[in-house]
Amino acid sequence: MRQLYKLGPLTGYSLQARDGEIGKLKQIYFDDQYWTVRYFVVHTGGWLLGQDVLIAPVVVTAVDEEIQRLDVDLTREQIKNCPPLNAALPVSRHYELEFYRYYGWEPYWSGDPLFDSAPIVPPLSIAGAEPKKPEHPHLHSSDEVTEYYINAHDGNIGHVEDFIVEERSWAIRYLEVDTRNWLPGKHVLVHPAWIQQVDWEKQTVTVDLTCEAIESAPPYDPAKILSREYQVELYTHYGKKFVQD
């Protein structure tokens, strides 16, 4: 089974290019269709005048928990010359196109005909014209979603506390939910497959579970390694089939 990481402790890890340090992990951007990390947001500090840059998970070659570092298969020069990110705006599809064209990569959405209703990406605007800044309908930051309320069928159960991601695929395997306003001291895990709806305006996540089921669920200890045995127990409790590698 692949290693699972809590995003919270990963935040602050340094990122190492082939020829030197890039900066520190600040947050992630993920899509709410596939619940997969699409970008790491890296704060470069003094090296690049403190600007934020995006790093695609595909270039991450190693995670070293001992020295708290992510190694990436890029050079500092490549990152320096990447299209600049406007940190004050959401990541737009326009920017994503520029990003992937710069690196010469196939965009993640182009390989799946069902992704984003098979969008036909419009051509970039002509040089000198100000492009329209489209709202990306499915790409969201971890900072944005943390603290969203979690609603069960019959009430509110807490809020999003953290994300648990899987190495290599960088899929979000669980949302960690803090139930301190309802069950003091208890943390529970929710798999994205059990989510019915994410309401970005109301800042809520609705799950296909009841409060009673969550109350009696095996408690999650954030200080312990998330074992396969615990995950099987969790799935069994909710009547789900555990089918991860």
pLDDT of residue 147: 86
pLDDT one-digit tens code per residue, 150-188 = 999 999 889 999 999 999 899 999 999 998 777 777 899
Q: Do the Cβ atoms of 28 and 41 come closer than 8 Å? A: yes
pLDDT of residue 120: 33
pLDDT of residue 181: 72
Helix (H, G, I), strand (E, B) or coil at 8: helix
pLDDT of residue 134: 38
> Nearest 5°: CA angle at 105, between 101 and 45?
75
pLDDT of residue 244: 66
Please tell me the number of Cα atoms within 13 Å of 170 on its side-chain side.
21
Q: Which two tokens stand for residue 238?
A: 């909710």
pLDDT of residue 161: 94
Report which DSSP code applies to 126. Answer: P
pLDDT one-digit tens code per residue, 14-40 = 999 999 999 999 999 999 889 999 999
Q: Which residues of the chain have pLDDT under 50?
A: 114, 117-134
pLDDT of residue 129: 40
- Of 34, 5, 48, 57, residue with least CA distance to 192: 34
Q: Do domains 4-139 and 146-237 have the same CATH topology?
A: yes
CATH topology of domain 4-139: Photosynthetic Reaction Center; Chain H, domain 2 (3.90.50)
* Homologous superfamily (CATH) for 146-237: Photosynthetic Reaction Center, subunit H, domain 2 (3.90.50.10)
Query: Radius of gyration (Cα) for the chain, nearest Å?
Result: 19
Q: Return the domain boundaries, the chain.
A: 4-139, 146-237
pLDDT of residue 112: 59
pLDDT of residue 2: 81
Residues 6+ apart with CB under 8 A from 194: 207, 208, 209, 238, 240
